[in-house]
């Protein structure tokens, strides 16, 4: 199960690339809303709150996404 979750976190980065990389940082409000909704769905997973290692991996994934898409995500309030 842990490996599946970590695999999904890799998918998350790939999905953001697919959805937003072509926009060249010209994101609409809908793009920002969608990106933050995706992050919110992942962050509500009980696996991240129960397992410290998975939580750390999730936080590292968020950090990577924030570095790749700083104008897209509003992680300070997530």
Rounded CA-CA distance 31/50 in Å is: 30
Average pLDDT over residues 14-25: 88
Instruction: Name the domain count of the chain.
Output: 1
Average pLDDT over residues 14-22: 90
Helix (H) or strand (E) holding 49: helix 46-50
Rounded CA-CA distance 52/54 in Å is: 5
Question: Which domain covers residue 38, as residue numbers?
Answer: 2-77
Q: CA of 71: how far to CAs of 13, 43, 65, in Å?
A: 16, 20, 11
> pTM above 0.85?
no
57-66, pLDDT tens digit by residue? Answer: 889 999 999 9
């Amino acid at each position: 199960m842990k490996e599946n979750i970590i695999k999904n976190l890799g998918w998350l980065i790939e999905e953001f690339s697919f959805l937003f990389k072509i926009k060249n940082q010209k994101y609409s409000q809908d793009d920002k809303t969608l990106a933050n909704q995706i992050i919110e769905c992942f962050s509500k997973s009980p696996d991240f709150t129960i397992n410290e290692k998975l939580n750390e991996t999730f936080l590292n994934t968020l950090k990577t996404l924030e570095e790749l898409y700083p104008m897209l995500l509003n992680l300070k309030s997530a």
